[in-house]
Each structure stands twice: as C-alpha cells, then as structure tokens.
Amino acid sequence: MSPLSRRRLLTSAGVGAAGLGIGGAGFLVGQETAEANAEGTGTVEFYGPHQAGIDTPAQDRLHFAAFDLVEDDPQALRDLLEAWSAAAAEMTRGEPVGDENDLLVAPPDDTGETVGLLPSSLTVTFGFGPAIFERPALGLSGKKPAALAPLPPLPGDELNVLESGGDLCVQACSDDPQVAFHAIRNLARIGRGTVVMRWSQLGFGRTATTSRSQATPRNLMGLKDGTANIRAEDTGAMDRFVWVGDETDQSWMRGGSYMVTRRIRMLLEIWDRSSLEDQEQTIGRRKYSGAPLTGSKELDPLDLEAEKNGKPVIAEDAHVRLASATVNDGERILRRGYSFTDGVDESLGELEAGLFFICFQQNPERQFVSIQRRLGQFDALNEYIKHVGSAVFAVPPGAQRNGFVGEPLLA
C-alpha cells in the first residue's frame, strides 16, 4: 500500500465519506475534519538546495533533539541519514512514515498520533556535531570543516553537560506541537540501535521573526524579541551571514549553515521585581512598543551615539547595543529560538523557564562566539539569565530528491 497522505484523507473525509476504507484495514478516519482546519495547513518542501527550517518563516512550535551514535559504524550512520531523510520527507508532506501501517500482524511503521492532522508547516532540519569528525572509525576526519569546532568556554557559562552537545541533531518545527513531537518520536524510533537520545527540548512559542510576513513575538521577559533579526527575504544578508558559500574548506557544506543552540534559563522572579525603567534600560528598548530608547516605533534604527545629560541614551551595557552589528564588526546571525518551560526549579521554587536560543550562521567563531564573548562579559541582561545548555552543529545543505541529507559527506 502506498503511503496515504493525511491531507488526502482529510479531503476525502471532507466529502462526507465517514468510514470510507482505502486499501483494506484502512488508514482512514471518519470525523477528523471539524477541527483540523483550525491549525496551519502549510506544506514546506523537504528537498532543495538548503534544508528547510532555516529560512522558513519560523513556525509556532519546536521539538528539538540531540542524539549520540551508539557505535562508530559509517554504514549505520549513512543508513540512518537515508532513513531519516525519507521519513522526514514523508512527514513534511503530511504522510505517515513508511508503507506498512495497516498490517494487523506487525507494528505500524508510523506511530499514528498525527492521523487526521494537517502537515502544519513541519520542517525537519538535521545537523552533525563536531565529535563525529574526530572518530577515526567513522572515516570523516578529513572532512571536518574548519568552521566547525566545539564552542569555547564563554563568559558566564553555567553549562550542564546533560543538556549540551550531541553527535547529531534534529530540529522539528511546526505550527502544531503534536506534529513536531511526532517527527522527533518517529525519527528516534527509526534510529533505535544506531543512536540514543541525549537531550531534547520542547519550545512552546517562537521568539524570533525570520520573515517580513511575521510580527515580532514576545519572549518570557515580555519583550519583543528578534526585531533586528535577519529576514529570509534579505537574500544578500542570508548569503553574507547564514549560508556557507565558497569560503568553506569543505565543499559538502556549501549551501549549508552552522547552528548554535543555547538553553538560556531566565531568572524570571528577579526580572519581574525590577522596575519598568530598569527593564527598558537593560534591553535598550521600550517594553511595550519595542521601540529603541532613541526612537518611537519598533523598527526605528538604534541611535547608539545619542546622549542625554552627557550619558548615552542606550546604555553602554544595554543588550541591543552589545548585540548590534555596529558593535560586532558588522556581524549578524539568524535567530530562530523558542520559549520553554520545564516544570519547577526546586532550588528556587519558581518556574524553570526561558529561551531555547537557536541561531544559524556562516561561521560560529566569527559570529555567535564573538558576539557572545561581548554579551557574556558586559550585557546588563546577564543579571537575569543563565546559559545552561550549549551545542553546535554543521547543518549540511538540503537533500536532492531521492537523495538524503549529508549524502555528499557520507556517500
């Protein structure tokens, strides 16, 4: 039986065919239509020159997972990426994983929790951690890009090794959290025996704008986050700051990017006790409008030279100043993070919550690391945050149709 598209099922069911069977036991469903339309209906193409999930307008929800290889077996790694890519392509089209989902005598290939849901703009983005290039048995040591290295210690790091690193990563973004969960779960299932999950992170709300079509969301500090982010429509900036180009020493990375993730715990109780003025001085923007302290509208440019009573209007240690391209030799990054909460921090008796920061760039040392060195040392925001998780991954270019992500590296 060919995989049945969830979208196709819905279309059929929409014609009133409750109980209609297709091909036997039937990956089919009667009364699924009523609510499905409330969720995003978009389908994002899996195949292409770049992996989806980087310049795709940031979806609402995230499920992220990092995996470690069980064995240093190059064939197993290649098989995994091939199977993962095929499954990701199916899921992004809204189809169940695999072909055998209605044989009574076997476990279904797909776990089934998205039957009846729309593709919901799912993207699945794969990355390789630095460690896989260091293991002789994998045979990849000659292929390590110079730009890929574990992040150096950074000022203010309080990293938990259990929430950091990983040989491989999968970023699943979707407008429906169940669709993102389903992707990670089924990829983990396909990988069983080859990889173990090292850590994972659910993100409940996007905190970055990556397209001119999107409004700027607020992070859990109540601040608009991502106003100055690169927009995917700015192809000049994407080529200069995000996509790996001819400057790379490893041709298999051309068209790819480098991803840095940081689990940033927000100390919300302390933040919530600071005055509105402190909050606005700390960030350098108005809380409600998002306008820089030197402007009146969100998109007004920062005026880092402006002074009042002999002091800079945007303080020397304001977050927006230290993160700005002006202060960072013109360097920028594409941010694509999500808010998270993971229960109660028992040591503080408050919600364990914050920002799961994700960024993409051409060169982590030149971009994220340089910017974070400055921020980690001087940013007034440091009083209210802790970086507790960290990872870096080489995100190869997209797969060709019938090919797989990482094929030029692993073939």
- Residue 407 as a binder of a copy of itself (CB under 8 A): the answer is no
CA distance 20 to 150: 53
Q: Does 112 bind a copy of itself (CB under 8 A)?
A: yes
Please count the other Cβ atoms lying within 10 Å of the Cβ belonging to residue 113: 13
- Token duo for residue 240: 């200069």
Tell me if residue 174 falls in helix, strand or coil. strand
Closest CA to 125 of 400, 409, 335, 393: 393
- Determine which residue in the list 44, 169, 221, 388 makes contact with a copy of itself, applying CB under 8 A: 221
- DSSP strands (E only) in 282-337: 307-308, 311-312, 334-335
Nearest CB to a copy of itself, comparing residues 192 and 401: 192
> Of the candidates 42, 72, 73, 214, which one interacts with a copy of itself according to CB under 8 A?
214
Residue choice 140, 159, 260, 291 for contact with a copy of itself (CB under 8 A):
291
Helix (H) or strand (E) holding 188: helix 177-191
**Closest Cα to residue 67, out of 173, 188, 190?**
188
Q: Which is nearer to a copy of itself, 296 or 402 (CB)?
A: 296
Q: Is there binding between residue 63 and a copy of itself (CB under 8 A)?
A: yes
213 or 235: CB nearest a copy of itself: 213
Q: Select the span of 285-293, 305-313, 384-392, 401-409 touching a copy of itself (CB under 8 A).
A: 285-293
Query: At closest approach, how far in Å is the CB of 264 from a copy of itself?
Result: 15
By CB under 8 A, tell whether 36 contacts a copy of itself. yes
Best CA proximity match to 266, nearest among 391, 392, 390, 381: 381
d(CA 169, CA 65): 6
CA distances from 195 to 21, 162, 191, 341, 410 (A): 37, 16, 5, 26, 17
Contact flag: residue 136 with a copy of itself (CB under 8 A): no
The contact pattern for a copy of itself, residues 242-281, with x = CB under 8 A and - = no contact, is: --------------------------xx--xxxxxx-xx-
* Stretch (H or E) spanning 409: helix 407-410
How many residues touch a copy of itself under the rule CB under 8 A: the total is 92
C-beta of residue 362 within 8 angstroms of C-beta of residue 245: yes
- Please report whether residue 15 would count as binding a copy of itself according to CB under 8 A: no
* Min separation Cβ 138 and a copy of itself, Å: 21
> Using CB under 8 A, which of the segments 78-86, 111-119, 124-132, 393-401 binds a copy of itself?
111-119
- Which tokens in the block code for residue 78? 């290649």
The nearer residue to a copy of itself, 250 or 390, going by C-beta atoms, is 390
Smallest separation (angstroms) from a copy of itself to the CB of 23 = 11
The mark string for 184-203 relative to a copy of itself (x by CB under 8 A, - otherwise) is xx--xx--x---xxxxxxx-
3-class secondary-structure state, position 111: coil
Instruction: Indicate whether 223 belongs to the interface with a copy of itself (CB under 8 A).
Output: yes
CB of 407 to a copy of itself, least distance (A): 28
Rank residues 92 and 114 by Cβ distance to a copy of itself and give the closer one.
114
Which of 11, 14, 23, 31 binds a copy of itself (CB under 8 A)? It is 31
Interaction mask 40-59, a copy of itself, x per CB under 8 A: x-------------------
Hey, which residues between 357 and 396 contact a copy of itself (CB under 8 A)? none
Alpha-helical regions (H) of 18-145: 33-36, 74-92
Rounded to whole angstroms, the Cα distance separating 46 from 319 reads 36
Strand segments (E) across 12-112: 61-69
181 binds a copy of itself (CB under 8 A): yes
**How long is the chain?**
411
